[in-house]
Each structure stands twice: as C-alpha cells, then as structure tokens.
Amino acid sequence: MNKIKFAGLGWEGPTGQIIRIREGIQELGHELNNDSPDLIYCNDPGQYLNGIKLKKKFPAAILFFNFLDVPWHFPGVMKKLTIESTLMREHADIVSVISNKVKKDLSKFYNKQIEVIYNPAKDVYFNENIKKTNNFLYVGRANDPVKRVSLIHETFKNDNEIKNIIFCGPEDPKFGNYLGIVKDEKLNELYNSSKFLLLPSKAEGIGLSMIEGMICGSVPLMCSDNLTAKEFAPNEFFCEPDPKSLKNKIEEVEKEYNNYREKSLEYGKKYKIQFNKKTIANNIIEIYKKHKN
C-alpha cells in the first residue's frame, strides 16, 4: 500500500499518547497530514467531535475512534458513555480499545466490532549500569480515588520510608518526595534506579507505568482487583488491596529480589517490542488496511 496520509488527534500534553503514535507513523514511512487525510485517528473521546468535523471535510477518509477506559467511578459516567458510544455507532468506521478489559466494558454499550490496540509506552529502556538507589516509585495521577494512592500512605504511614517514596505525575499526593512531571530521560533513570514500582489502582486502561517499570527492571506491585493489570503481569506481582497484604508482598519479594527482577525483565523484553510506538502505529495501519480491503 502507498504512503498513508495520517491525521492523528489526541491529548497533546506530556501524559498524552498521540505524539508518540505520530512519531511511530512517521517511522513507518507514512505522512502526517490534516489537510487531505486518508486516515483520521482519534486516540481519545475528547477528540471524537474534531474527528467527525474533519471527516465531513474529507468523506473518503477512514474515521478511527480509539477508546481509553470506562471510568465507572466518575459522576455521570453512564451519560458520558451513552454519548460516546452513540458517536461511535453513527460516525466511526473503526473502533478500538487499549486492553481486553476495556473491550469487555465497552461491549456493554457498543455491540459492533472492537479492535484491541495498546497505547505506546515511553521510550524507556533497561540500563544495567544504573544502580538500585531508590526503593519505591509511583508514576501517574495521584488524586483520582481509583488510583488508590491512599493505600500507599496507609501502608507506610508509620515508617520513615514514607518520606522517600518518589512520586512523578501531574498531581501532588501531599506526602513522599513529589517531583512533578519529569522528562522522559529522568523517568527512565527513576525506573531503572527503583526497586519497586507501585501501582495500587483499582482499575486502569492499561497501566503503562507497570509496563515501563518492567522494561527497566523495576518490580511492579499491583492489587488483585486490577483486572487490566492481570493481562500483563504475573501473579507473583499481585497482593490484596490492603496495607498488610502490600507490606507482606514487599517483604516476600525482598527475600528473593533478584529472581523477581529477572522475571520483570523477562516480561519487559517482550513489552519493549509490543508497546513500542512503531509497533502500535503498525497495528493501527494494519487495521486500517484490513478495513480498506
């Protein structure tokens, strides 16, 4: 197939995925083009209306809606999902989601074909020369109750360790060592230098910090009710969602840390390829080609 003209719409901020997806598209030799696109790809529902407007200007283009997550805990979520699923049915040529868990959730509202395409991880990598100088790292939003950062606080509130837990992301948890949003180079260093990556969330679309942590040889610890995480991590990395269980899991892993780290790296080698921006871009293009044919 000839070079595809790709219009990629999505959240442009530092935590968004669309920039890396566009980079992957270009690495495949395709063209970024919003003036006469063949493919209009909307990476999140916030861009569906803009994608529809662009489709009206270029009706021959394929309109591709990606869906990130069902925030069951948000007020008005049913109304939001009703609107978004209606836009999918009435306008989208292709609909995808970022995990099988999200596919199952969305299928309750949208009964047409749903593809699964993961979002790309950051360009992090394992660096064996970086020593494990930090124990605990958390990456992501901290104040959304579904992220359950309070579990970290409850687990460590009586320990001196609590002041050393590193937090990176757009929200300050008001405890630990908060660094804000850090550049990718710094984040790569933090993943490599941290023994544990904490992801206590009740739910995730994917949980890319877990993927990125494994790529860099940090051991991610998740809770058993996070069904999405179970798609990607071995059972040994899970605990129950309570402080005692998390504390016990940390102590268990500490006793055989090198073995757990090797298992994390084993998964990370696979995910370094599977979640690479070029791989994700190729998945998008292949689904587009299948639709065209």
**What angle do helix axes 277-292 and 18-27 make, rounded to 10 degrees?**
70
Q: Where in the chain is the domain with CATH 3.40.50.2000?
A: 5-120+276-292, 134-274
- What is the arrangement of strands in the sheet containing 115-116, beginning at the earlier edge strand? 31-32, 5-9, 39-42, 62-67, 94-97, 115-116
CATH code for the domain defined by 5-120+276-292: 3.40.50.2000
SS3 291: helix
Q: How many helices (H) and strands (E) does the chain have?
A: 10, 12
Tens-digit pLDDT string for the chain (293 aa)? 589 999 999 999 878 899 999 999 999 999 999 999 999 999 999 999 999 999 999 999 999 999 998 877 778 889 999 999 999 999 999 999 999 999 999 999 999 999 999 999 999 999 999 999 999 999 999 999 999 999 999 999 999 999 999 999 999 999 999 999 999 999 999 999 999 999 999 999 999 999 999 999 999 999 999 999 999 999 999 999 999 999 999 999 999 999 999 999 999 999 999 999 999 999 999 999 999 88
- What is the arrangement of strands in the sheet containing 194-199, beginning at the earlier edge strand? 177-180, 166-168, 134-139, 194-199, 219-223, 238-239
70: number of Cβ within 10 Å: 21
Tell me which residue has tokens 């990456």: 139
What pTM, to 2 d.p., does this model score? 0.93
At the top level of CATH, the class of 134-274 is alpha beta
